[in-house]
Amino acid sequence: MAGMLVDERDQKFVLFEQLEIDKLSDYELYSEFDKDVYLMVLSEAKKLAENEFMPLNSVGDTEGVVFKDGKVIMPESFHRLWALWNEGEWRGLDIPAEYGGQGMPTVLGMAANEFFEAANLAFQMSVAMPRGGALLIAQHGSDEQRAKYVDKILTGEWSSTMALTEAEAGSDVGATRTIAERNEDGTYSIKGAKVFITCGDMDLAKNIIHLALARVKGAPAGTKGLSLFLVPKYKINSDGSPGEPNDIKVVSVEKKLGLKASPTCQLSFGEENNCTGELIGRENQGMTIFFTMMNESRLIAARHGAGIASSAYIHALEYSRERLQGSQIGKESNRQSPIIKHPDIRRMLTMMKSYTEGVRALIYYSSYCIDRVHVADSKEEKQKWEKRLGFLTPVTKAYGTELSFRVTEAALQVYGGYGYTKDYPIEQFLRDEKVHSIFEGTNGIQALDLAGRKLSRDSNDLYTGLLKDITEFCTEYKEHSGLKAYISILDEAKKALAEASVFLLELQKKDFELFALYANQYLELFGDVIVGWLLLWQAVIAWEKLSSIAGDSNPDNAQLENFVTDNVEAAFYSGKLGAAKFFISNVVSLASAKAAIIRIADRSALQIAENAFVV
């Protein structure tokens, strides 16, 4: 049985047949790993996720967290998951060995974590944050800070948070009001209030290290004046053990739509003027430090969303095979047929399949770019992958989470009325899914990052990098015997994206407000083209594999159909072809129209008077 979380065959296809990540072992950095090790990790992740994490997903959703006497109590069952997670050393899987991790490629870490997030995202939130925290301290802390914090966080003895958001500083991080005042002993007194802090308090770890942004008294306004502090829940004794409580109060825990077993806390620092923190890096470097983590943390947010979508899709598929309603079009029968036979359900399932597989490829490819940065042996090579990652990060975060939401929503639709009830897990999936377009920088902010920052700064790298690769791909396969019509649609879409890019760059200089209005459409167009490319690239591979299974270099469709009936591998590859064709025909084919919308640059959304929205 394939399992209800992740399409493992597709996962392996992207990792080993498309990206060929086993070749990363040719580089010194990853030379101690090989395909067998990667497969073993994925298999263990699957086992743990299915056997332990998945059964507790609805339990956590029902129990939620308890906020009592100023403390957060996690669902009792999560203590076991926390212990298993720590025993398995999963937090350090893709953290460099020099920092105490296992040093595996980022792309492998993404794939392994997909199982856990598909199984139980609320729990996973409690371990994803500390992983990022440990890495940040390892990369930017002093030797003393590394020794004091990293190992304890990596082993799960302690936890950590990312404490950026404030009531007046959400998307506008530069508006942060939390203040830090230098003390004579080199520490800082912290005073301020943070909101929406994931695991701002919880009882799974013995201490919590808040990575909090604050402004040192007298520092410049805006993001330039922000510094980053390590603010422990319990002050740390000279022997490294947790000591007296720091002056941090949990004011409240949000009552949320989803992720009910993940505490989202409002925290108050220094109400008694006794909250102490340590500076990490230098003063006013807070945002620069966070930016070094930004690519990875945004890809992880996309992965969270994709994990849920993956499981939602598989659940909907299973349901559609079992649920009997109506009769199949064109079949004379009094018997009800499984709903998978109905064209509209087939449409939704194929949409879900192509989006899920497209987003998986997008996330893995972007993570693979991180690994290529790590192994680059020249400045030019490093820059090439960094620039590519720069474009792909906001697209993966925003486009990926949008598509994942649509998959999860369609999965509920497949269940009909039952999907809307608590009898099935889909309604929880949909509630848990929504947040991904909001946190880690809203999707609107990602669009501004792509169009306003990346495109305006690095357009040349886009034309000579990603777009050039797509052009070369289209040129190489333009006469492909089975896919040429689809290659041609992708080629047109890529031209439309290039033209829209040139147009927006000009518009940005003339009318920034109008330009900002179309940033979102631009990101969508960008995502369509990149995912279209990744899926067609997969289709080319699938075609070759299918042909070789068929023992014929150019099999016709009828021959292929026969193979699919009794050959699992042939069925997989034919599914890959179907998903790519569907995505190109139904999504990428709209690219020219989307680009035209951008070029028309209609101003109505800006011109409509505010009091005219509802009179």
Question: Is 483 a binder of ligand FAD (CB under 6 A)?
Answer: no
Q: What is the closest distance, in whole angstroms, from the C-beta atom of residue 222 to ligand FAD in the complex?
A: 13
**Candidate list 114, 296, 440, 524, residue with the active-site label:** 440
Binding marks (x or -) toward ligand FAD, 420..459, rule CB under 6 A? ---------------x--xx--x-xx--x-----------
Tell me how far apart the alpha carbons of residues 425 and 311 are, in angstroms, rounded to a whole number. Answer: 10
Residue in 256, 168, 263, 273 with CA at minimum distance from that of residue 208: 263
Closer of 104 and 163 to ligand FAD (Cβ): 163
Task: Mark out the alpha helices in 323-378 (DSSP H runs).
Answer: 343-375
Closer of 100 and 270 to ligand FAD (Cβ): 270
Residue in 483, 506, 515, 484 with CA at minimum distance from that of residue 579: 483
Q: What is the closest distance, in whole angstroms, from the C-beta atom of residue 420 to ligand FAD in the complex?
A: 23
Q: What is the closest distance, in whole angstroms, from the C-beta atom of residue 438 to ligand FAD in the complex?
A: 5
Stretch that binds ligand FAD, among 101-109, 192-200, 315-323, 572-580 (CB under 6 A): 192-200
Question: Is 352 a binder of ligand FAD (CB under 6 A)?
Answer: no
Binding marks (x or -) toward ligand FAD, 152..191, rule CB under 6 A? ---------xxxxx----xx--------------------
Tell me how far apart the alpha carbons of residues 45 and 56 are, in angstroms, rounded to a whole number. Answer: 16
Among 196, 229, 473, 543, binds ligand FAD (CB under 6 A): 196
What tokens does 429 get? 């999936």
Residues 6+ apart with CB under 8 A from 93: 41, 101, 102, 104, 108, 109, 112, 113
Closer of 198 and 547 to ligand FAD (Cβ): 198
Tell me how far apart the alpha carbons of residues 73 and 311 are, in angstroms, rounded to a whole number. Answer: 28
Residue in 189, 183, 188 with CA at minimum distance from that of residue 273: 189
Question: Is 198 a binder of ligand FAD (CB under 6 A)?
Answer: yes
- Burial degree of 99 (CB within 10 A; 0-12, 13-18, 19+): middle
Closer of 134 and 197 to ligand FAD (Cβ): 197
What Cα–Cα distance (Å) separates residue 14 from each residue in 22, 358, 451, 573?
A: 12, 10, 28, 12
Q: What is the closest distance, in whole angstroms, from the C-beta atom of residue 489 to ligand FAD in the complex?
A: 31
Q: What is the closest distance, in whole angstroms, from the C-beta atom of residue 96 to ligand FAD in the complex?
A: 24
Closer of 38 and 116 to ligand FAD (Cβ): 116
Q: What is the closest distance, in whole angstroms, from the C-beta atom of residue 293 to ligand FAD in the complex?
A: 12
Tell me how far apart the alpha carbons of residues 307 and 313 are, in angstroms, rounded to a whole number. Answer: 10
End-to-end Cα separation, the chain, in angstroms:
57
What Cα–Cα distance (Å) separates residue 431 from each residue in 58, 136, 256?
A: 12, 30, 9
**With contacts defined by CB under 6 A, how many residues of the chain interact with ligand FAD?**
20
Which residue in the shown chain puts its C-beta closest to ligand FAD?
170
- DSSP-derived letter for residue 194 is E
> Which 262-301 residues touch ligand FAD, going by CB under 6 A?
264
Stretch that binds ligand FAD, among 193-201, 388-396, 540-548, 567-575 (CB under 6 A): 193-201
Tell me how far apart the alpha carbons of residues 497 and 525 are, in angstroms, rounded to a whole number. Answer: 7
User: Does the annotation mark 332 as catalytic?
Assistant: no
Q: What is the closest distance, in whole angstroms, from the C-beta atom of residue 593 to ligand FAD in the complex?
A: 24
The residues binding ligand FAD (CB under 6 A) are: 161-165, 170-171, 196-198, 256, 259, 264, 435, 438-439, 442, 444-445, 448
Catalytic residues: 440
